[in-house]
Amino acid sequence: MAAKRIAAFGEVMMRLQTPGYELLAQAGSLAYSFSGTGVNVMSALSRFGHPASLVTRLPDNPLGDAAMANLRKLGVATDLLQRGGRYIGMYFLENGFGSRASRVTYTNRQESSFNTAPAEAYNYEELAKAIDVLHLCGIALAMNDGVRLHMRKLAEAVKQHGGLIVFDCNYRPALWGEGGYSAAKPHYERMLQLADTVMMNERDAVHILGMSTSAAVRGEQLKELIPAVASQYGITVIAGTHRTVNADHTHSLRGFLYKEQKFSFSPERTFRVYDRIGAGDAYTSGIIHGELQGFAPEQTVGFAAAAAVLAHTTAGDTPMSSERDISRAMEDDAADIER
Amino acid sequence: MAAKRIAAFGEVMMRLQTPGYELLAQAGSLAYSFSGTGVNVMSALSRFGHPASLVTRLPDNPLGDAAMANLRKLGVATDLLQRGGRYIGMYFLENGFGSRASRVTYTNRQESSFNTAPAEAYNYEELAKAIDVLHLCGIALAMNDGVRLHMRKLAEAVKQHGGLIVFDCNYRPALWGEGGYSAAKPHYERMLQLADTVMMNERDAVHILGMSTSAAVRGEQLKELIPAVASQYGITVIAGTHRTVNADHTHSLRGFLYKEQKFSFSPERTFRVYDRIGAGDAYTSGIIHGELQGFAPEQTVGFAAAAAVLAHTTAGDTPMSSERDISRAMEDDAADIER
Amino acid sequence: MAAKRIAAFGEVMMRLQTPGYELLAQAGSLAYSFSGTGVNVMSALSRFGHPASLVTRLPDNPLGDAAMANLRKLGVATDLLQRGGRYIGMYFLENGFGSRASRVTYTNRQESSFNTAPAEAYNYEELAKAIDVLHLCGIALAMNDGVRLHMRKLAEAVKQHGGLIVFDCNYRPALWGEGGYSAAKPHYERMLQLADTVMMNERDAVHILGMSTSAAVRGEQLKELIPAVASQYGITVIAGTHRTVNADHTHSLRGFLYKEQKFSFSPERTFRVYDRIGAGDAYTSGIIHGELQGFAPEQTVGFAAAAAVLAHTTAGDTPMSSERDISRAMEDDAADIER
Amino acid sequence: MAAKRIAAFGEVMMRLQTPGYELLAQAGSLAYSFSGTGVNVMSALSRFGHPASLVTRLPDNPLGDAAMANLRKLGVATDLLQRGGRYIGMYFLENGFGSRASRVTYTNRQESSFNTAPAEAYNYEELAKAIDVLHLCGIALAMNDGVRLHMRKLAEAVKQHGGLIVFDCNYRPALWGEGGYSAAKPHYERMLQLADTVMMNERDAVHILGMSTSAAVRGEQLKELIPAVASQYGITVIAGTHRTVNADHTHSLRGFLYKEQKFSFSPERTFRVYDRIGAGDAYTSGIIHGELQGFAPEQTVGFAAAAAVLAHTTAGDTPMSSERDISRAMEDDAADIER
Amino acid sequence: MAAKRIAAFGEVMMRLQTPGYELLAQAGSLAYSFSGTGVNVMSALSRFGHPASLVTRLPDNPLGDAAMANLRKLGVATDLLQRGGRYIGMYFLENGFGSRASRVTYTNRQESSFNTAPAEAYNYEELAKAIDVLHLCGIALAMNDGVRLHMRKLAEAVKQHGGLIVFDCNYRPALWGEGGYSAAKPHYERMLQLADTVMMNERDAVHILGMSTSAAVRGEQLKELIPAVASQYGITVIAGTHRTVNADHTHSLRGFLYKEQKFSFSPERTFRVYDRIGAGDAYTSGIIHGELQGFAPEQTVGFAAAAAVLAHTTAGDTPMSSERDISRAMEDDAADIER
Amino acid sequence: MAAKRIAAFGEVMMRLQTPGYELLAQAGSLAYSFSGTGVNVMSALSRFGHPASLVTRLPDNPLGDAAMANLRKLGVATDLLQRGGRYIGMYFLENGFGSRASRVTYTNRQESSFNTAPAEAYNYEELAKAIDVLHLCGIALAMNDGVRLHMRKLAEAVKQHGGLIVFDCNYRPALWGEGGYSAAKPHYERMLQLADTVMMNERDAVHILGMSTSAAVRGEQLKELIPAVASQYGITVIAGTHRTVNADHTHSLRGFLYKEQKFSFSPERTFRVYDRIGAGDAYTSGIIHGELQGFAPEQTVGFAAAAAVLAHTTAGDTPMSSERDISRAMEDDAADIER
């Protein structure tokens, strides 16, 4: 059987980061890279051996060329990608330390090539023929009506051609603004109806979907709400994580996977964090990989959680671990040098 | 007599430059600084001992904070500056080498805090009381109607309070687009009518103002057209440069100054170029300084040309030379180490 | 009511730091910045919205120019500053890691422009008219008789014009040498007599002022000695911190403020340290800010302690946090990314 | 008609370069990149819009992963590439300046994955089906019998499937050692017999093929010997350059193309050199592109020469210019900034 | 009495490390340095005041020159060193973070100048006259028969001239491969028979020497096996460490020294790790130094353990601490800044 | 015959240089290295195979340790060197570009360990026994009476033990100040009386020694004055250079050597300059090497001039070329890559 062709629809962001722990008002240089939820998930899946492509739109200028080169470097195929428009979305990152939080400052991404793609920018039919699994996420959903229409049309086309839809809820309060939850709800519901696999947890059910629960503890809420979501929207797999930020600035993470009326959980892992951004995308990539490879649910959720832990220890937004790295991390937590 | 208080109205741009001679598709880091025609001229004048301030608008976020800190570092006072809006204009610079030209890529500056300043953003009256000399330039003029209105109202208020207006024509074809000259003409004419000192040369007269000349040689055209412009728009001082890019990639530069029906010229200087951007602003700052200090015209134009030459040898857009540095460069061209 | 004009009298030091955790015998480059107790406190207060100026002396050469530019970048006004003399004080910093302590190596600061300022260098009367609050510290006091005379004359002039004096005891054993405490005592007493606000703790009372206590625990000693100091020297506010270096290399800090016969304490905060130097100056700036704003004592001491904690997490000697950053840190200790 | 699928057979080298003009005994860091004649030519052709692939062998370790990522970044497809063996060839570059020559130091490339590829490493038949144009070069030919056998078998297979063979003579004296010309001759002759397009000049004819000429001037020798080579080995196109290193350290370059009994020449261009290595590969890529696009011979040779000139101005071994960049450079030699 | 002349026989490795926590597939530059067990031990001993020399072989090219310069920088004398052969061994280091282990990738060191030294490369007699203490290690022993012969001949010559032999077991599984223990055993036994001081612990006794023990706990095994090894091979001093990698990624280390039928132990120290590689060599250098200085065994083992702890906090493979640094670290664990 | 043991008496300076062409007021980091006339000459001679040592005094602190490590790295032996005092001399270098001159700013070197060495710091007798050739220079002579006394006593002791004295006039106007020539003259005369080999040219004869000449051209002045100096002070060899700074910022250099009543001249070489500082020391080292090796005078002067040219193309003050590099440069001026 041929390898499943995976694609993500999403924006490429240029990340510009000050050195070490300097602020923008102190530093004089920035390291740059290109990422985005779709980029991160596709790069990870490519590293696991899947053909992984990005459906997006980039300007035809030196910044677009740099983005193209770096997507390819990350293993993301660019054959489904459009060039056009004039700008690329950017964000500036100032690394926090201990009790000082990291700080992210965005440029105007509404003007980006992706967010201004005209109605005819993507050929949904042709794309659908080239895609077996399509990944979409809540960040793109927050952009504007044009992007939302592209998302819906593309998802419908892929579904019609027998493809699978993965949707990551990924709700960002700053993007939706005041009163965002109710504005977001109808758009989210449309996506959930199309999706086969969904990344979310009980908080999304409460806040976005407006569901309520009498349970007081997170774990109980999860077990009450997730099955309800799955049944209401006809979703095959729902997966997500519970994260705790500990007093000593370590994080703890536990993954869950709900499928065929059953929850599976990864062990809770506690770890030091080097680069937090994009770690959730590593988790998603682990879930998709496990599902495509036919792993048992416990193996999938354990693999995804280990992938997420490693992504916290790696520079940049994009996960860099191979399947072998992740398997080793599932076994052993405190390794000495590998020679 | 108290020192003249000088201010420029203009946008602050963030300059992001790849290291050495790398392209954006090759490099992984960027040096950043903050500049702009107004920034450059004010910084140079502050170094010459004048109180120099910038009238502009910067976002109230970490990028705006970084711009503020760097303006102060350059000696530009920020007491007349507004915080508001959300974005800062940016450009990416890839250094050329020899026959490969430098390449500049802009982000969407139309959305910048400066270019979206609302009608009430600046208190023209209060500003006019604090400004003896106001510098404006053709780049801001190319932005949009809002900016143009601010320029005109501020210039009128300063003039009404007895201040001087300096206008730098600085026509950038890419900003005005196709058919730009005719679109630009009325805006330029309004500025010329308000201006006491104007930076331009015969090409601006031909292209922007639509004047014609029978002379074939640049020097002849200059001598025919500049007096006509001065008389037509009632301008006291017109100054500018003639630049030649030589086959061995050195540049040659000759400055002129037209005042009281007389042309003065600097010697033509030939020099190696390290950083081309902003060198014209050093010339402007030299003209303003000479005029304010009451230099003889030949001294002014010689000082301005030497300032421009040194600015080509200095990293970054912003001139960094002191009056002493420039005086020394006027005398001697090929110096050994100064210990 | 107009904003209080604050100034510090103190030396500007050039800090030269090896990259990462390298030693001078390993590295090949140094990051440099400009700091000093006065610089740090003024920069922090400027960030809180106060006009903050430095009274000091810098050489009229490229190092002095660099210092000027960087003071302005930090928000410190340079209008009260003198240029003259030939040298700038410097120190080299090799960052420690875990059980390896950081190491500081000084150049000969006795020859610096500040430490060789002649008797007529500063116009005390003019300065006193421009200063509402004057900050002085024990490091300058350790330099030489010339500096001490300037400190006393300036403090007296400011006091005479109705200004407030803040004195930070800041005793550095290496500067006073063997038998330093008794040599230092008379100079410290003169300062305490002039000061309205004093930064110190019970150890300073014991070691410098030679006071004795029967209490065994630090907290008891503090409560016995600080009121005695306040009453003996007529000091309105005494504030300081108790710091513990924990076995896991985190630090714990608790601030106190004594005013109107009452002690206020901040909560004890435990935190990871990124850059230790200058964190005490952040505490001082918090105390001054709280007093000037009329905060309740508990709010002042909590604000100052949070400012100090954040300063430990920030690169460089100089505090970089805004009032908003500090308020947020007072509430929440273990933050995730701010987007 | 579908795009021609181009592939190169050749080694990937890791280039490790000291910063600026430092020697290995002075510096402490190295910039690294991945190149090789095949890499360079394929990257350039990919930038011109051709599907371009590399047939090579890389170790399955982090260095091989890095090479893979960087090949993709350069636009070179890796689907025909093998993983196996243990090492990657490397060279260290110390940049010369003026009269001090650049210095290249190799590691033991004989042990590289490419140079130790076993007999069964490549499936010639499958490769031949995927390749319309195959590029080979004299550097690989100098390696060892195993590599030479792979080259011959692959060239024969491609030829049998109707593909074209491009051979770049690229004789490196250091690789063949003493008496190298006679050792090399039979291997070169075999390649020339298989090749349709050959990169060489009259010196290769004299030194490698042992041909003789009575002409004294290079130009005359060229016109005598190249037609003889073309006729003797049945070669359709022979192209190459004449380079002069001038006293002021600029270089001059003139390209030629011999085809259908006719020579075409580019104008001689004189230019400053930033990075010399790999510039010849830019010339080759221009010749192949011109031929595939059906350019007139003068256009092809002019395009190739301009591509070579630009490659001398670009960091790294690998050409980075687009077709648009090269066309612009063909028209204009001394450009100001492109905004 | 004259200072003992110490020498190590061993390979110089070039260490090439990616910046921060980047992978080779992410980074673009590498910091390089030169190390090796012999280099590290000699450098540390030179810092303690001993004349310390390296017997090795380096290529006569720019990489060899760089190695020479850096050995001298580290305080290692190069007068006993040979130039010849063509290559230098290299390894690439990607720093791990938290649960992601550091990764080391070697180039082909079998081809290095050291590992291809011909039979006549070293004049054993002359060397033996210049060496009072010779250090050898298990890494060189794993290389090949040529190196092993040099080791044996040199050790025998030094012993014959009355010198002392120190042997560090340092078994690296990757170098010996499958079934390595039995292949290694005879070579190790020969070294142990020649050695006066041996660095090892009970695991080496079990795995390499095939000894068995009924004790279950490490401490018990140590006390049973080490005396047996000492007696069987006639060794005067055996020293080594027990290391624990803790869940929070700190390490704990306890040193032991067995001499004259008595064990001495250092306190167990727990510490954060900055650079793990080469820390064992710091321990060795502490043992040798203590023995040469005639320290009491407890002092020696405490000094060696503190040296090892500090080496974990220092950048690079090579220990950088002075005797004064180490003595201070023996007393105090959690230091504030040293000014 | 045993190799001549060479030593220089002189100060070690720490050089701190901004990156690229940035000013101190722009940059944030500095590259540092350690140099000085004595360091440079000794390093070059060590590279030519001579045992070369430095007699100087360095502080016993981390800066002194760094200087020691870097001297060793440069090949300079440190066995004759003293530790003591507290400071090291420093200078800051801002690189010029084209018509902007390089700028050097010193710290207070009068307080350095070298310049404050007490009378008993050096054991002249012991040093004289270990030195066959002693190098001294005019920079040290400008320092203070203490240093001058050390110079004279050491030179006399070496001479008494049959050693040779090399003196480099190296007059720096800034160090002697106004009226410096007459202040300097007696000190220079004392040195010339002791010296066997002297580095100087006709300008030194005129300015320092107050000699006069009727010749108008430099070449004629040289031929008239140098023999007079040689005869008056009993000097065996006088050597020096004539340098021209050309309009295109290249330099031209011609070396001369006067010996046994005969002048020898090198060809005049014109070259681009990368790092000017210390190039004169390369010339000196070439003269000393030629004399010690017994080269013919024309060979010596040609070798010295080529060494000087290469030193202008090398980063840092200290010459880095081997005898082989220089010999190659004597033959060929415009080299392509060396592979």
pLDDT attached to residue B336:
52
SS (H, E, C) F18-84: CCCCCCCCCCCEEEEEEECHHHHHHHHHHHCCCCEEEECEECCCHHHHHHHHHHHHCCCECCCCEEC
Q: Tell me which of B175-179, C297-301, E11-15, E70-74 is least confident.
A: B175-179
Cα separation, D91 vs F339, in Å, equals 10
Assess whether pLDDT exceeds 60 at residue A24. Answer: yes
- The percentage of chain E sitting over the pLDDT mark of 90, rounded to a whole number, equals 92
Kindly give, in sequence order, each residue whose CB lies less than 8 Å from that of residue D294, ignoring residues fewer than 6 positions away.
none
- Identify which of E99, E104, E248 has the shortest CB distance to residue A337: E104
Residue E102 CA: distances (Å) to CA of C21, E108, E283: 18, 20, 21
B→D interface, C-beta within 8 Å: 20-23, 25-26, 96-104, 106, 172, 174, 245-249, 276-277
Q: What are the phi and psi torsion angles at B135 (to 5°)? A: -105, 130
Q: What is the DSSP letter of C97?
A: B
Q: Do F338 and D103 touch (CB under 8 A)?
A: yes
- The answer to whether the CB of D20 falls within 8 A of the CB of D87 is no
A→E interface, C-beta within 8 Å: 73, 250, 269, 271-274, 309-310, 312-316, 320, 325, 329, 333-339
Residue E130 CA: distances (Å) to CA of B194, E134, E161, F325: 89, 10, 10, 33
Name the minimum distance, in Å, from the CA of B294 to any CA of chain A.
38
Helix (H, G, I), strand (E, B) or coil at F105: strand
Closest CA to D243 of D274, D211, D203, D297: D203
Cα separation, F238 vs F257, in Å, equals 6
pLDDT attached to residue B295:
97
pLDDT attached to residue F116:
97
In which region does residue F22 sit, left (phi positive, over 0), alpha (psi from -120 to 50) or beta (all else)? beta
pLDDT attached to residue D337:
60
Cα separation, C180 vs B110, in Å, equals 63
- State the average pLDDT over residues F99-122: 95
Structural domain boundaries enclosing B71: 1-132
Q: List, for residues E7-50, the tens digit of each pLDDT value.
A: 999 999 999 999 999 999 999 999 999 999 999 999 999 999 99
What is the value of ipTM here, to two decimals? 0.93
Q: Is B97 domain-assigned?
A: yes
**pLDDT band of F251, cuts 50, 70, 90:** very high
Q: Is F338 domain-assigned?
A: no
- Identify which of D20, D97, D247 has the shortest CB distance to residue F334: D247
CB contacts of F72 in chain E (<8 Å) are 72-73, 75
Q: Do A336 and E21 touch (CB under 8 A)?
A: no
Question: How does pLDDT run along chain B (339 residues), one tens digit per residue?
Answer: 578 999 999 999 999 999 999 999 999 999 999 999 999 999 999 999 999 999 999 999 999 999 999 999 999 999 999 999 999 999 999 999 988 999 999 998 999 999 999 999 999 999 999 999 999 999 999 999 999 999 999 999 999 999 999 999 999 999 998 889 999 999 999 999 999 999 999 999 999 999 999 998 999 999 999 999 999 999 999 999 999 999 888 999 999 999 999 999 999 999 999 999 999 999 999 999 999 999 999 999 999 999 999 999 999 999 999 999 999 999 875 445 666
Q: Collect the ranges in chain D with pLDDT lower than 50.
A: 334-335
CB contacts of D69 in chain A (<8 Å) are 73-75
Q: Find, in chain C, the residue whose alpha carbon is nearest to that of F17.
A: C29
| Residue recorded with tokens 């074209």 | D164
Q: List, for residues A149-168, the tens digit of each pLDDT value.
A: 999 999 999 999 999 999 99
- The percentage of chain F sitting over the pLDDT mark of 90, rounded to a whole number, equals 92
pLDDT attached to residue A139:
97
Amino acid at position A170, single letter: N
- The answer to whether the CB of C62 falls within 8 A of the CB of C92 is no
* Domains in chain B, number: 1
In chain E, the N- to C-terminal Cα span, in Å, equals 37
Helix (H, G, I), strand (E, B) or coil at A91: strand
Assess whether pLDDT exceeds 60 at residue F334. Answer: no
Q: Do F26 and B316 touch (CB under 8 A)?
A: yes
For chain A, what percentages of helix, strand and coil (3-state, to nearest 5) are there? 40, 20, 40
- The answer to whether the CB of E336 falls within 8 A of the CB of C121 is no
Q: Is D226 domain-assigned?
A: no
CB contacts of F73 in chain E (<8 Å) are 69-70, 72-73
Q: What is the DSSP letter of A118?
A: -
pLDDT attached to residue D148:
98
Which of F72, F320, F321, F337 to mutate against chain E (most E CBs within 10 Å)? F72
pLDDT attached to residue E3:
86
Cα separation, E259 vs E249, in Å, equals 33
| Chain pair B-D, CB pairs under 8 angstroms | 70
D→E interface, C-beta within 8 Å: 16, 23-25, 27-33, 61-63, 65-66, 68-69, 86-87, 90, 92, 94, 103, 105, 107-108, 111
Residue A337 or F157, more confident: F157
- The answer to whether the CB of E275 falls within 8 A of the CB of E316 is yes
F→B interface, C-beta within 8 Å: 20-23, 25-26, 96-104, 106, 172, 174, 245-247, 249, 276-277
pLDDT attached to residue D334:
46
In chain F, the N- to C-terminal Cα span, in Å, equals 37
pLDDT attached to residue E249:
85
Closest CA to B291 of B324, B329, B258, B243: B258
- Identify which of D26, D99, D248 has the shortest CB distance to residue F316: D26
Assess whether pLDDT exceeds 80 at residue F335. Answer: no
Cα separation, C42 vs D107, in Å, equals 56
| E strand map for F175-327 | 197-199, 237-245, 251-259, 262-265, 269-271
- The answer to whether the CB of E40 falls within 8 A of the CB of E321 is no
**pLDDT band of C303, cuts 50, 70, 90:** very high
Assess whether pLDDT exceeds 70 at residue A1. Answer: no
Dihedral angle over CA of C323, C324, C328, C329, nearest 10: -40
In chain D, the N- to C-terminal Cα span, in Å, equals 37
- Identify which of B22, B172, B174 has the shortest CB distance to residue D315: B22
Q: Do A316 and E101 touch (CB under 8 A)?
A: no
Residue E272 CB neighbours (<10 A): 17
Pairing of strands E133-137, E6-9: parallel
Assess whether pLDDT exceeds 70 at residue C333. Answer: no
pLDDT attached to residue A335:
47
Q: Is A254 domain-assigned?
A: no
pLDDT attached to residue C336:
52
Q: Do E92 and D30 touch (CB under 8 A)?
A: no
pLDDT attached to residue A334:
45
pLDDT attached to residue C284:
98
Name the minimum distance, in Å, from the CA of C188 to any CA of chain E.
21
Cα separation, F181 vs B245, in Å, equals 45
Which helix (DSSP H) or strand (DSSP E) does residue E233 occupy? helix E218-233
Q: List, for residues D273-303, the tens digit of each pLDDT value.
A: 999 999 999 999 999 999 999 999 999 999 9
Kindly give, in sequence order, each residue whose CB lies less than 8 Å from that of residue A305, ignoring residues fewer than 6 positions away.
A241, A253, A254, A255, A266, A267, A269, A283, A286
pLDDT attached to residue C337:
59
Q: Which chains touch B (3 or more CB pairs under 8 A)?
A: A, C, D, F
Q: Tell me which of B111-125, C244-258, E57-71, E150-164 is least confident.
A: C244-258
Q: Is C309 domain-assigned?
A: no
**pLDDT band of C334, cuts 50, 70, 90:** very low
Assess whether pLDDT exceeds 70 at residue F153. Answer: yes
Name the minimum distance, in Å, from the CA of F64 to any CA of chain C.
9
Q: Is B219 domain-assigned?
A: no
- The answer to whether the CB of F94 falls within 8 A of the CB of B314 is no
- State the average pLDDT over residues F296-319: 96
Q: List, for residues A184-212, the tens digit of each pLDDT value.
A: 999 999 999 999 999 999 999 999 999 99
Counting Cβ atoms within 10 Å, is residue D162 exposed (0-12), middle (13-18) or buried (19+)?
exposed
Residue F242 CB neighbours (<10 A): 17
Q: Is D110 domain-assigned?
A: yes
Q: Do C62 and F33 touch (CB under 8 A)?
A: no
Q: Is B258 domain-assigned?
A: no
Q: Do A338 and E101 touch (CB under 8 A)?
A: yes
pLDDT attached to residue E334:
46
- State the average pLDDT over residues E55-71: 98
Residue E60 CA: distances (Å) to CA of A253, E63, E87, E150, F339: 54, 8, 9, 21, 15
| Residue recorded with tokens 């995927």 | D130
Q: Find, in chain B, the residue whose alpha carbon is nearest to that of D310.
A: B100
Q: What are the phi and psi torsion angles at C183 (to 5°)? A: -65, -35
B→F interface, C-beta within 8 Å: 73, 269, 271-274, 309-310, 312-316, 320, 325, 329, 333-339
Residue E208 CA: distances (Å) to CA of B113, E138, E181: 71, 11, 5
| E strand map for chain F | 6-9, 13-17, 29-35, 52-55, 57-58, 82-83, 89-94, 103-106, 133-137, 164-168, 197-199, 237-245, 251-259, 262-265, 269-271
Q: List, for residues E258-281, the tens digit of each pLDDT value.
A: 999 999 999 999 999 999 999 999
Which helix (DSSP H) or strand (DSSP E) does residue D273 occupy? none
Domain harbouring A10, CATH code: 3.40.1190.20
- The answer to whether the CB of C314 falls within 8 A of the CB of C320 is yes
Cα separation, A51 vs A67, in Å, equals 19
